[in-house]
Structure 1
């Protein structure tokens, strides 16, 4: 039986990098609304079309959005490519202060998004994405507070990142699938390293935190794992390379002339200026894929080993990145994504909420976290959840590593 609600039409979009089980989220959310007589509009390519909207260029069905039906979303929960596609369009990029949300020079693209939604008589928006997408959802929510002339549009957000660095939820959908894929790659390279008696440095996705590096390293039985949480200050690749050369020699005494070092790509941001690559993106961040911090560390290990032994060795480096984002979704991620999708419906229709992120706890019990708890009020940036070095998760990784002589900062 359909529930009584003022919501007649819901918009949904996916923004930022892909993640396994994305379609499970879209499917469950769409079916929940459709089953209750609520129309669902799926916007294609994130905010890309919406931020450029104008009344002179209306949104086109089949080009800019899809009117989702039961057939569109049935049987897609395990599909790898995202049916709504995605982009990194960021309509809130000019905003640096709350007052900017009412400033015509700063809120133009956000206002274009709102007007695009209003043009289709959207009553509520389901936002699916990472930290920038959450930030945009919060901007749209707060902008309505500062501009009372706008028709009220409810907004809920569903957290997505394979990095698993979100506040307000223990595990994000896609994380375990990405970790499983990366772990399989690590195990393959462990076999290769053992067969050829060589070392690898594997650089794994994770700009801000090391959850994926540690989970993949634990499951893949890596020799050593390093991430941004391991260094309070700079990541001096030369100094760490020297310590890892000592680890190489310690393992050789045990008859193990091979090993796998997993590092988070975000360590590139912690390199000293004289080691840091100069190429940056439009936000001033180091282009992590191009930085090749794994290669930098591998070179440092080779130099240090030769200094100690006079012998030249080859330390291979490899990046494990984009291929994890659309890997086969695990059963857990499909379950988690499905519950989050249903949670969007329950938050909007059953609970009458807005300005919240859908989350789970315990055995996938739904909970709703206000944006205010996830966003730093002073900077308007999303809070990042790092691995606590005193946590049992971190201690698990340390307990399983090869107990060589590499010193630790904790």
Structure 2
């Protein structure tokens, strides 16, 4: 008779072999997810293939050859995974190869040329006799998983279907369908430590630091780091009010010429924000600190702000050689990882503070980035990652799910969100989840910061 100490019953499933792959940037607790999922399958006799380096090996497959064990994949056996869940890094590697990249709208899924990489991925997995695929990655990888399922839905009825389950990963935490992604709090812990170190330096030198941190589309990392690191102000893209936005014509730094929109034939317009308004808000905080007898502090800014800087400001953030190498994307945005804007904001804040007060203030700019992605995971992230990995096993082997993302709520209770609830199928993209100004997590930072009274 089963007791609370009994092992879970063996599942009744037709699964014989599953594949796990990790795509996109690293995140702390990646191995907790991979090892937990693999161990569960392996313990009940279902073979697990850890696909190396994301989709890259699968996309290079050329039939009738067979992918090579030890090169394209590794067999993950529970007997070899002890101690892996708390380790750093990604045991099966990662890459940004994306077989769904060419499919940007539903009709593309009926185009053999655009679905060719998805077909190759399918053929590669079937050559290994894989019954189910577990993808781990960010919103692009979620979208790819959904496209892979949609591609299979269009195949002839007699074709074998590979079931697909996705596990959400991003330290940016900008993911719809889950409250906090694994690795987020580990990354925040490291960034918060850096902020506290900067604050100690600031106190000693009576200076300010502006720390630029990761977070392209959402300010979750910046807010987490600022709250836990006792920063004095945090600014994310979500904090820019509509009256600070305007448009400018996109110019290519490489050619110096206007970029023409292919759809309209007119010069492309890009959204940018008023830098002086952001600088003014930073200086407002500095003035409050000085009146309190504390002429020092730390400001945290999300890197996503860099995409919307006016081009003349971008020019001052990089060397001339780097500036000439920048290329705008289809929306007129520039790669944020190449834009260290914190020093520029520091100089502007120092100048504005002196203009207002007649006093000098040293404002240094620093940038934190890749060093947080493989930080040793916190206990919470190991537990969260482990539950998501176990959730993949339970979704496939116990529940027979297909086309779902594993999520959790409350005390890590498992949820299975259908792709349809997470993807905008009109444009084949996952739904973003920025911080909502006014929600409690956002307001937490405002309550902890120096109080700046609105003027006028």
What TM-score do you get using the length of structure 1 for normalisation? 0.95
- Structure 1 equivalent of residue 63 of structure 2: 55
Task: Answer yes or no: is the 8 Å Cα contact 1:200–1:260 preserved in 2.
Answer: yes
- The yes-or-no answer on 1:165 pairing with 2:174 is yes
Q: Choose the corresponding residue for 1:5, options 13, 24, 32.
A: 13
Residue 56 (structure 1) shift: 5.2
- Structure 1 equivalent of residue 320 of structure 2: none
Task: Answer yes or no: is the 8 Å Cα contact 1:357–1:371 preserved in 2.
Answer: yes
Aligned length: 408
**Separation in 1, partners of 2:218, 2:81:** 33
- The yes-or-no answer on 1:262 pairing with 2:303 is no
- Structure 2 equivalent of residue 335 of structure 1: 383
Residue 316 (structure 1) shift: 0.8
- Structure 2 equivalent of residue 376 of structure 1: 424
- The yes-or-no answer on 1:135 pairing with 2:143 is yes
- Structure 2 equivalent of residue 45 of structure 1: 53
SS in 1 for 2:313: coil
- The yes-or-no answer on 1:218 pairing with 2:227 is yes
- Structure 2 equivalent of residue 29 of structure 1: 37
Task: Answer yes or no: is the 8 Å Cα contact 2:233–2:285 preserved in 1.
Answer: no
Matches within 5 A, 1:238-253: 238-253=276-291
**Separation in 2, partners of 1:94, 1:363:** 39
- Structure 1 equivalent of residue 80 of structure 2: 72
**Separation in 2, partners of 1:117, 1:242:** 55
Matches within 5 A, 1:308-319: 308-319=356-367
Is the alpha carbon distance of 1:261 and 1:29 closer, same or farther for their aligned partners in structure 2, counting shifts above 3 Å?
Answer: same
Structure 1 range deviating more: 213-222 or 98-107 = 98-107
- The yes-or-no answer on 1:293 pairing with 2:341 is yes
**Separation in 2, partners of 1:56, 1:311:** 74
Structure 2: segments with no counterpart, 5+ residues = 1-8, 246-272, 316-322
**Separation in 1, partners of 2:284, 2:44:** 63
**Separation in 2, partners of 1:58, 1:281:** 40
Task: Answer yes or no: is the 8 Å Cα contact 1:95–1:106 preserved in 2.
Answer: yes
**Separation in 2, partners of 1:407, 1:187:** 31
SS in 1 for 2:424: coil
- Structure 1 equivalent of residue 249 of structure 2: none
- Structure 2 equivalent of residue 107 of structure 1: 115
Structure 1 range deviating more: 280-289 or 264-273 = 280-289
Residue 276 (structure 1) shift: 4.0
Is the alpha carbon distance of 1:116 and 1:270 closer, same or farther for their aligned partners in structure 2, counting shifts above 3 Å?
Answer: same
Residue 57 (structure 1) shift: 4.7
**Separation in 2, partners of 1:276, 1:122:** 48
**Separation in 2, partners of 1:407, 1:41:** 61
Structure 1 range deviating more: 71-80 or 323-332 = 71-80
Task: Answer yes or no: is the 8 Å Cα contact 2:19–2:134 preserved in 1.
Answer: yes
SS in 2 for 1:245: helix
Is the alpha carbon distance of 1:380 and 1:403 closer, same or farther for their aligned partners in structure 2, counting shifts above 3 Å?
Answer: same
Is the alpha carbon distance of 1:177 and 1:283 closer, same or farther for their aligned partners in structure 2, counting shifts above 3 Å?
Answer: farther
- Structure 2 equivalent of residue 355 of structure 1: 403
Deviations 1:50-97 (A, max 9, x none): 112111553110011001112332211111011001111112111111
Structure 1: segments with no counterpart, 5+ residues = none
Is the alpha carbon distance of 1:309 and 1:232 closer, same or farther for their aligned partners in structure 2, counting shifts above 3 Å?
Answer: closer
RMSD: 1.8
Task: Answer yes or no: is the 8 Å Cα contact 2:406–2:415 preserved in 1.
Answer: yes
Structure 1 range deviating more: 263-272 or 37-46 = 263-272
What TM-score do you get using the length of structure 2 for normalisation? 0.86
**Separation in 2, partners of 1:401, 1:146:** 53
Is the alpha carbon distance of 1:2 and 1:243 closer, same or farther for their aligned partners in structure 2, counting shifts above 3 Å?
Answer: closer
Task: Answer yes or no: is the 8 Å Cα contact 2:135–2:166 preserved in 1.
Answer: yes
SS in 1 for 2:430: coil
Task: Answer yes or no: is the 8 Å Cα contact 2:66–2:128 preserved in 1.
Answer: no
Task: Answer yes or no: is the 8 Å Cα contact 1:302–1:314 preserved in 2.
Answer: yes
**Separation in 2, partners of 1:232, 1:350:** 47
Residue 98 (structure 1) shift: 1.3
**Separation in 2, partners of 1:282, 1:273:** 14
**Separation in 2, partners of 1:400, 1:14:** 37
**Separation in 1, partners of 2:196, 2:64:** 55
SS in 2 for 1:100: helix
